[in-house]
Amino acid sequence: MVKRENARWKLMIDVETENGIAVVTLGHGKANALDIEFCDALSKCFDELATSAARAVVVAGRGRMFSAGVDLIRASAGGADYMRKFLPVLNRSFASIFFHPKPLIAAINGHAMAGGAVLACCADRRIMARSGGRIGVTELLVGVPFPALAFEAVRFAVPARYLAESLFSGATYEPDIALQRGWVEEVVEADALMPRAIAAAQQLAQLSPEAFATTKRQLRQEIRERLDRSGAAVDKAATEIWAAPQTLRHIGDYVARTLKKA
């Protein structure tokens, strides 16, 4: 039986639960771009799932896009005031996913760029469709640093030997290269993506929920401790850069170039 959740955030995110697996489908505009409203919806969704009857979660995008990352058009138009309001909400959304206590599989059905790649990195396992676009973090090309948890999520997921190159180059990778470089654990044909992701979730759902949650907490404990020690200072510095006039101009120029190229 499929259970469709009824929640305030349902216009942006659809949740269907079947046989203990909650399938979360992101559906915010054409690109699932991260803005204040969508990030708030993500936080509410995953907070509710944490106490639901679901034993594991699969998250995917609608159509051909997983997530294009931060809505740079909205950010550029909103200016410094918007940036200062947005970044804490973005951080909360990442935290609700990265520290989610249940097994979480990212079914990367399309492009996962910048903040969208970070969102995927928050999952326990990433499975990507072979024709599903590209994945990578382009923040430095845009001219912005990573908030503390966003950086930690990428560092947790990507092998150390490829991390600096990925961050500094802003490169995005096709699925088979992403597999080689550790951005994803598995690549499958597009029509096999959701069945494979659900099967992976079902496998983890068979484990003791308490034992899994404890082990997951242990795996991420060092990150929690680093965030407790220095996360606030990193986020304060990052916010000042994101909200600076020269950064906003750079974002505007980047958006103009990207849209013209598209």
Domain borders along the chain are: 2-214
Cβ–Cβ under 8 Å, residues 204 and 101: no
Two tokens, residue 50: 């944490």
67-to-35, 189, 215, 224, 225 alpha-carbon distances in Å: 11, 19, 28, 25, 28
Return the closest-CA partner of residue 114 out of 94, 89, 139: 139
**What is d(CA 45, CA 143) in angstroms, rounded to the nearest whole number?**
30
pLDDT of residue 184: 98
Q: Tell me which CATH code domain 2-214 carries.
A: 3.90.226.10
The pTM score is: 0.94
Output the pLDDT for position 252.
Answer: 92
Q: Give the residues of the chain that fall short of pLDDT 70.
A: 1-10, 259-262
Cβ-contact 77, 41 below 8 angstroms: no
What are the strands of the beta sheet with 65-67, ordered from one edge? 65-67, 111-113, 135-136
Contact partners, residue 137, CB within 8 Å, separation at least 6:
113, 114, 117, 118, 146, 154, 166, 167, 170
The pLDDT value recorded for residue 211 is 98
